[in-house]
């Protein structure tokens, strides 16, 4: 197993650690627990580009890496969002419909990728999908900081005591980009699947 795949496996273990830290302390994690989860989440998110870069540099691109890397990405973002959703008062900043939208987009893109690649056409991630992942990571990271009580994440953008905190706005932005990215994948898949 090459270094790229080892990092992917390590990222998978760190993703599991994020979820365990939050689940063990449920239903009311302390600010320190959110901080630990955030640090693990941030390291796992930042190392996302590392395994791909190593795979290309050492020419270690593998089927395992092509499957495992995006799976870890999805587990990191969606797993953390799903675990955080029922905790304390987190649904105020991370509404259930946003998590369902993100989850539905991943199911849709996975199905479309299977159908398109079944026709022998490559259907990899494009820049919009990559930016979607970055914004989702920033949003979920900010949600964890919101739980930790960090002032920036809790800063009300619509006046003192308002409902639109920085974390809330980032979740909305990530959800909107998730929808746009899903529609883009749908458009690309439609062009391939309806081709003679």
Q: Which of 15, 21, 45, 46 is nearest to 35 (CA)?
A: 21
- pLDDT reported for residue 59: 72
- Residue 73 near residue 11, CB atoms below 8 Å: no
List of residues 6+ apart from 177 with CB closer than 8 A: 128, 131, 132, 135, 136
- pLDDT reported for residue 165: 93
Q: Which of 45, 108, 52 is nearest to 79 (CA)?
A: 45
| pTM of this structure | 0.91
pLDDT by position in tens, the chain (length 196)? 677 778 889 999 999 999 999 999 988 899 999 999 999 999 999 988 776 776 677 776 666 667 778 889 999 999 999 999 998 778 889 999 999 999 999 999 989 988 998 888 888 778 898 899 999 999 999 999 999 999 999 999 887 777 799 999 999 999 999 999 999 999 999 999 998 5
Q: Which long-range contacts (CB under 8 A, 24 or more apart) does 164-169 make?
A: 165/93, 166/142, 167/93, 167/94, 167/139, 167/142, 167/143, 168/92, 168/93
- Three-state DSSP class for residue 2: coil
* Residues comprising the chain, all counted: 196
Q: Which helix (H) or strand (E) holds 181?
A: helix 166-193
Positive or negative, the CA dihedral 90, 84, 75, 109 is: negative
Angle in degrees, 0-180, between the axes of helices 127-148 and 31-46, rounded to the nearest 10: 160
Q: Helices in 3-61 by DSSP H: which ranges?
A: 3-24, 31-46, 48-57
- Three-state DSSP class for residue 156: strand
Q: Per-domain residue ranges for the chain?
A: 3-193
- pLDDT reported for residue 100: 97
- pLDDT reported for residue 150: 96
- pLDDT reported for residue 68: 78
- pLDDT reported for residue 122: 80
Q: Which of 116, 106, 122 is nearest to 181 (CA)?
A: 106
- pLDDT reported for residue 1: 66
Provide the CATH topology of domain 3-193: 1.20.120
- Three-state DSSP class for residue 165: strand
CA-based R_g, the chain, Å: 18
């Amino acid at each position: 197993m090459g270094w790229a795949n080892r990092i992917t496996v390590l990222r998978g273990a760190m993703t599991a650690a994020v979820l365990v830290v939050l689940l063990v302390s449920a239903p009311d994690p302390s600010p320190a627990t959110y901080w630990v989860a955030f640090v693990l989440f941030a390291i796992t998110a930042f190392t996302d580009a590392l395994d791909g870069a190593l795979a290309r540099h050492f020419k270690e691109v593998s089927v395992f890496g092509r499957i495992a890397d995006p799976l870890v990405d999805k587990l990191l973002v969606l797993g953390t969002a799903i675990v955080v959703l029922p905790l304390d008062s987190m649904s105020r900043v991370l509404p259930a419909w946003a998590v369902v939208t993100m989850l539905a987009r991943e199911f849709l893109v996975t199905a479309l990728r299977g159908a398109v690649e079944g026709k022998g056409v490559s259907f990899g991630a494009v820049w919009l999908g990559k930016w979607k992942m970055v914004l989702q990571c920033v949003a979920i990271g900010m949600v964890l900081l919101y739980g930790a009580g960090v002032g920036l994440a809790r800063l009300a953008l619509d006046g003192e005591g308002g409902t639109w905190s920085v974390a809330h706005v980032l979740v909305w932005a990530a959800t909107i980009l998730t929808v746009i990215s899903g529609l883009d994948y749908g458009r690309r898949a439609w062009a391939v699947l309806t081709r003679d």
